[in-house]
Amino acid sequence: MIESLMSLMGGFATALTPMNLLFCLAGVSMGMFVGVLPGLGPVAGTALLIPMTYGMEPVTAIIMLAGIFYGAMYGGTITSVLINTPGEGASVITCIDGYQMARQGRAGQALGVAAIGSFVGGVVAIVCLTFLGPAIADIALGFGPPEFFSLMMFGLLLVVGLMGKSVVKGLIAAVLGVLLSEIGIDSGSGMDRFLFGQIELLDGIDFVVLAMGLFGISEILLNMEDVSKVAVPARVEKMIPPREEWKPTLSAIARGTGIGMVLGLIPGSSASIASLISYSVEKKVAKDPSRFGHGAIEGVAGPETANNAYSGAALIPLFTLGIPSSPTVAILLGAFIMHGLNPGPLLYQSDPDFIWGVTASMFIGNLLLLIMNLPMANLWAKVALVPYKLLYPIILIVCMIGIYSVGRSLFDVGLLIFFGVIGYLMKKLEVPAAALILAFILGENLEYTMIQTVSMSDAGMLLLFQRPVSCVITILCIIALVISLYTAIKQRRDQLGDE
Amino acid sequence: MDKKKISIISSIVVIAIAVMFLVYSLQYSFVGIIGPGPGVMPFCLSLILLVLSVSYLITALRGKDSIGSMPDKKGLFSILMILVYMAIYVVLLKPLGSVLAGIVFLFLLYRNSYRWYTALGISAIVSVFLFVVFRVLLEVNLPVNALGF
């Protein structure tokens, strides 16, 4: 514990250098920006800025990109409360009571408790990362290929099971993701695979191209069907709630922190699920549940805390095991790899300056966000008024220039457009793109650990059942798959019954 | 086109992708230096994909697949135009240089929303700004024309 504290102090020395501080501010501001703007979520926002980090030191780049991730959670609240338009998925639930509070002239209080709750949730999650991270990494140091293979499979299956409506479509997306990751030179044999006559595919598909296409371009194409109308934001005054509301608010914040923390550790869950569960819990424990939907302050405090606690906690499996739990974290993992870092238990030993620098920067980032949100909420609300018709061409051209700068290849820009169309079709067909990107990023490691597992003994893949940790995780994988399939079959039967 | 037809077509496309990967994976060795060769994983995956896509096709044929609402003609036209403009940008980027290609691309998108001179002004300002940010500040080697921009 003392060791973690000392390391964190060292991290502050890294995070507080003028350059890192500047990029932390840039990251959280960008996060606020993508959170406030409807139609540009944190996944697309993070993917969009990755090309800009090429020339940066890895620690500076990840400080900025992580800032976008947790900053977006703060930003999404403002438009949910003021104009009833969630900037990102996790803030949808805040619209219910937040907007009602705004209509009652309590917009300031809604934003105030949301900002304080977000700060508490975010900071508690980072404290846990500080103290739990090294402990989990120590345990994971004893893991071999079978354990990592089963862990990655578990993460993927949970994503497939929890995201999207159909297990079959989720599995199709995941399998396609791994297949796409196999395009290019195979690192094990040195053989090129699936080039389809295109020499440009020799280096494989760049994950930024895939992420930006599937999440950025597709989102714009989707918005083009019907460009949303912009509403006028409510006025923000008096941000502290009356004294009698402090107790229920603080309790909601405490519960939201717990819910967000636990869900952040589970791959496949999302900040939206954390907010939704927190809202249901608040409604259940409330003395008068009928207030919910009509401006209950706990309905804002709980979910907003939960989604920020989630985003901090979601970094724990990334830093310690190298396993992303959500699409945005998967993009962060891609950025780690791009900057030559290998997330996982060894990172704490091989690159402590990096890991503690990023952790410390998140404390600073959350503080910056609290300042940005309490006195400057009105200013951010104005950002939502930037007309989409002015904004989307700029996003498109930044995407294309960004992709060109990755590999200096027009082929990549063409691929970006192609994956943009694929992402659009996937959304229309309700195939979860998140499962595809997660599988794509884990694909190479999945194959590598599979080959190593098979070569380790004569038992082949049965080795997974002969080692205690991998055996437990593999059984969990099977349970996750069976439950997902059972739920899908049951839903179909219920549908048939209804008909 | 109705939703059932769209589901059936998309499941057939996935079957075609699975078959394509399956055929390609047979070209690679199944035995490697330390264990399974480069063909094993792709072969298994494309086989799984084939099974999944056939299951998808069966669901689609039964009319039980759930998909989102499709765009109307106007929405579809807007999407197609954006894709065409993006393709034009890719074609023009090298011969015209990034600033001029950017102006053309942005002008095509802005011209329906703003008066032509406002659209041209915004396009020029944004293109030059992005050129400065990427080429000068981030030192990205963007394509330039004979005049250097």
So where are chain A's domains?
2-228+241-498
Q: Tell me, yes or no, if B130 comes closer than 8 A to chain A by beta carbon.
A: yes
Quick one: pLDDT at residue A88?
Answer: 67
Question: CA-nearest residue of chain A to B31?
Answer: A189
**CA nearest B34 in A: which residue?**
A455
Question: Taking a C-beta distance cutoff of 8 angstroms, is the pair B102, B130 a contact?
Answer: yes
pLDDT, tens digit, for every residue of A164-178?
A: 678 889 999 999 999
As a whole number, mean pLDDT of residues A473-480 equals 89
Query: B80 vs chain A: nearest CA distance in angstroms?
Result: 9
Picking from B67, B73, B137, B149 by the largest number of A CB atoms within 10 A of its own CB, the best residue to mutate is B67
The answer to whether A327 touches A43, Cβ cutoff 8 Å, is: yes
Residue A28 amino acid letter: V
Which chain A residue's Cα is nearest to B103? A397
Q: Does residue A45 surpass a pLDDT of 50?
A: yes
CA distance linking residue B9 with residue A495, whole number of Å: 23
| Residue B149 and residue B98 in contact, taking contact as beta carbons nearer than 8 Å | yes
Confidence tier at A228 by pLDDT (50, 70, 90): low
How far apart CA A1 and CA A483 sit, in angstroms, is: 39
Q: Provide, as residue numbers in chain B, all residues whose Cβ is less than 8 Å from the Cβ of A197.
A: none
Residue A372 and residue A376: Cα distance in Å, rounded?
5
Residue A14 is inside which H or E element, if any?
helix A2-15
Q: Is B68 on the interface with A (CB under 8 A)?
A: yes
Task: List all residues of chain A from 464 to 493 with a beta carbon under 8 Å from chain B.
Answer: 492
Residue in A225, A393, A425 closest to B75 by CB: A225
ipTM for this prediction: 0.94
Distance from CA of B146 to the nearest CA of A (A): 18
CB neighbour class for B55 (10 Å; exposed up to 12, middle 13-18, buried from 19): middle
Mutating which of B44, B52, B72 best tests the A interface, going by the most A Cβ atoms within 10 A? B52
Q: Which residue has the higher pLDDT, A41 or A128?
A: A128
Does pLDDT of A132 surpass 90?
Answer: no
Q: What is the pLDDT of residue A39?
A: 62
Q: Is A393 close to B105, i.e. CB distance below 8 A?
A: yes
Look at residue A463 and tell me whether its pLDDT is greater than 70: yes
CB–CB of B52 and A171 under 8 A?
yes
Banded pLDDT at A232 (limits 50, 70, 90): low
Instruction: Report the gap between the CA of B138 and the closest CA in chain A (Å).
Output: 7
* pLDDT tens digit sequence for B118-137: 999 999 999 999 998 888 77
Q: Are A73 and A86 in contact (CB under 8 A)?
A: no
Name the residue among A73, A65, A76, A40 with its Cα closest to residue A398: A40
Which candidate, A407, A443, A354, places its Cα nearest to that of A15? A354
Residues B99, B131 contacting (CB under 8 angstroms): yes
pLDDT higher than 90, residue B80: yes
Please check whether residue A185 touches B, CB under 8 A. Answer: no
Q: What residue in B sits closest to A427 (Cα-Cα)?
A: B68
pLDDT of residue A277: 87
- Given CA atoms A120, A123, A128, A131 in this order, what sign does their dihedral have? negative
Cβ of B93 within 8 Å of Cβ of A452? The answer is no
Q: Which residue of B has its CA nearest to A225?
A: B75
How is residue B140 written in tokens? 């990205």
Highest mean pLDDT among A91-100, B73-82, B102-111: B102-111
Task: Give the pLDDT of residue A293.
Answer: 85
Q: Residue B36 is nearest to which of A169, A225, A454, comparing CB atoms?
A: A454
Residues forming a β-bridge with A421: none
Q: What is the mean pLDDT of residues A350-365?
A: 89
Distance CA B30, CA A186 (A): 13
Q: List A residues 384-413 in contact with B (Cβ-Cβ < 8 A).
A: 389-390, 392-394, 396-398, 400-401, 404-405, 408, 410, 413
User: What is residue A256's predicted lDDT score, i.e. its pLDDT?
Assistant: 93
Supply φ then ψ for residue A418, to 5 degrees.
Answer: -60, -50
Share of chain A above pLDDT 90, in %: 19
Residue B127: list chain A partners with CB under 8 A: 397
Mean pLDDT (chain A, rounded): 85
Which of A4-18, A258-272, A357-371, A420-434 is predicted least confidently?
A258-272
Rounded-to-integer distance, Cα A463 and Cα A22, Å = 49
Q: What confidence tier does A230 reach under pLDDT thresholds 50, 70, 90?
A: very low
H or E stretch covering A368: helix A352-373
User: Per-residue pLDDT tens for A249-291?
Assistant: 999 999 999 999 988 887 667 787 888 889 988 988 888 888 8
Task: Please indicate whether, in this complex, the C-beta atoms of A194 and B21 are within 8 angstroms of each other.
Answer: yes
The angle subtended at Cα A360 by Cα A358 and Cα A366, nearest 5°, is: 100
Q: In which element (H, E) is residue A100 found?
A: helix A92-103
- Count of CA atoms in the C-beta half-sphere (13 A) of A478: 7
What are A396-447's pLDDT values in tens digits? 998 898 888 877 889 999 999 999 999 999 989 989 888 898 889 888 888 8
